[in-house]
A and B are shown apart, each in its own frame.
Chain A
């Protein structure tokens, strides 16, 4: 049996399905529902077994097409930076507000992807977010909480 990354992913999915199945059996149901033909844990239990079945088959059966990924050619650094920027965005948006956080998110993303045309970077972040915010808040009536804009008196 040829061990490759696809098989490892399938094995991980097998373990995940086993954990899912275990958790499915732990779902607390009402006492009167315990022996009912269908309760809150029935469907998840079948799903757990289905996960074990298909991932188990994938691990055991031969691989018709082997996928080879050339990790040397993958751009991990920029991808990780973008993910970190997105996480920081999530951590700050509630405290700082939509406008400043989103503008900085866009500006820093352009920067880390290698862009250095500062005027264009600025135009496609701060004014762009302001226009988008107007579309959401002003036209589509979708409320956007923004402590920063409230503190400087731009938003009520």
Chain B
């Protein structure tokens, strides 16, 4: 492991990669602060640029964007009660009241230190857990992988939006259908191309991400007459106050951070869960753990109440890398985008990644830590200035997002068919978003589509066409049983709620 850490440090500490983490954190903070534009959009916009670098640098840049976006989301939660990303909703419960009491600077500092500590601790957990998990997952066979992918897709559908499980499952199927367009990987037979040569290679992953996130979010903002930059205009006018944390507040944080980081990390590892659930759980747990006097302060500017969700959401970000790096199966929409980008680089994440590409594996882990340090050193003092940059009017912001989307697609294919296809998918996605059809399950399914088919193919061929492979191994049967229980529970909930009504 020491050798791996050194490889990671050597790769991550090159001037270019440090610069990439800085750019990523800065850019991510800006996008994360804008309510409605989350880390997935930020990463999607970055993908075409990352293809100009080697895979390690590209991934380091994306990891920086991810952390920056989560940090940016916390800032708008604290200052405006307008969370930039769902994972920072719980941050606003105590962060915003604190800001209203004239302690905005202190709230931001607590959030930044908690994020730093949560991220650092979880990077350490990841450091120890990922290689061991990789070794364990080497014993996984195709049926296990197939079952795991179904579980991952079902779980993300279950957690993606409240009461919308069937909608999310429809999006999963749509994502898999989109992934099936083009040549079959084994026989080279073309499928669903309708004799269009442009579809022979299938639909590009970047195109689907850009269309369903960047472009459709820009169109949704215009359609709904939202102005994400209005929040930023208020931030620049806010008096932040001191960013110093006193001894008493520090001692409270010392107790909160370790327990919240463990919760955050473990929830992040679970497929489909992630920063949002982690932060709510940590907040709830913290409220139960503290004494009655402190409990009274929750919702009114409690240090523990702010520190817990902030620690947990950052820890969950690191945790979500575990299934992606060790199994090659992303646990969240954001890591799905990163997995897609890695596949685009020709790198296959999974249990062998840390053996075949140790520089990528370890540099990602190391860059997480570097990202945390940069967020703390650079972003905290720079928040008021970043907020001023953000006060770019919507009339400029939207065309620029559209510009990065279409340019991103054009420079990857030099083909106007892809531009039309992206516009078409973006229009459909915008319409679906209006009716609360979630997009992350679609992306995860699109990324996993090829791998899923491949593992099903191997499983069916090995078992001579029999579906017994699903229950032959205890592990496969257990994973599948969990999936079935999730589906039954959510369908039952849908029916039961209506009966109650």
Query: Which of A's residues lie within 8 Å of B, judged by CB?
Result: 5-6, 9-10, 13, 17, 20, 23-24, 27-30, 33, 36-44, 47, 50-51, 54-55, 57-58, 61-65, 67, 69, 73-76, 78-79, 82-83, 86-87, 89-91, 93-94, 98, 102, 105-106, 109-110, 113-115, 120, 124, 132, 136, 140-142, 144-145
Contacts and interface: CB of A to CB of B under 8 A. Distances in A.
Contact of A61 (B396, B423, B494): B494
B176 interface: yes
A43 B456 CA distance: 8
Interface stretch (B2-10, B278-286, B398-406): B398-406
B167 A40 contact: no
Nearest to B186: A40
B398 A86 contact: no
Contacts of B457: 38, 42-43
B45 to A, nearest CB: 13
A86 B411 contact: no
28 contacts: A9-B435, A17-B173, A29-B187, A36-B465, A37-B460, A38-B457, A40-B189, A47-B177, A51-B174, A61-B495, A63-B498, A64-B494, A64-B498, A65-B164, A65-B436, A67-B436, A75-B223, A75-B224, A79-B219, A83-B219, A87-B423, A90-B423, A93-B416, A102-B406, A113-B222, A113-B399, A124-B396, A124-B400
B475 interface: no
Contacts of B461: 36-38
A13 B164 contact: no
Q: Which of under 10, 10 to 19, 20 to 34, or 35 or more describes the interface residues of B?
A: 35 or more
Nearest to B218: A82
Contact of B435 (A29, A41, A67, A87): A67
Nearest to A116: B395
Nearest to B420: A90
Given A23-B192, A47-B173, A75-B225, A57 B398 contact: no
A102 B403 contact: yes
Interface string B166-191: 11011001101100100010110101
A102 to B, nearest CB: 7
Nearest to A27: B191
A90 B399 contact: no
Given A40-B189, A94-B416, A142-B52, A51 B177 contact: yes
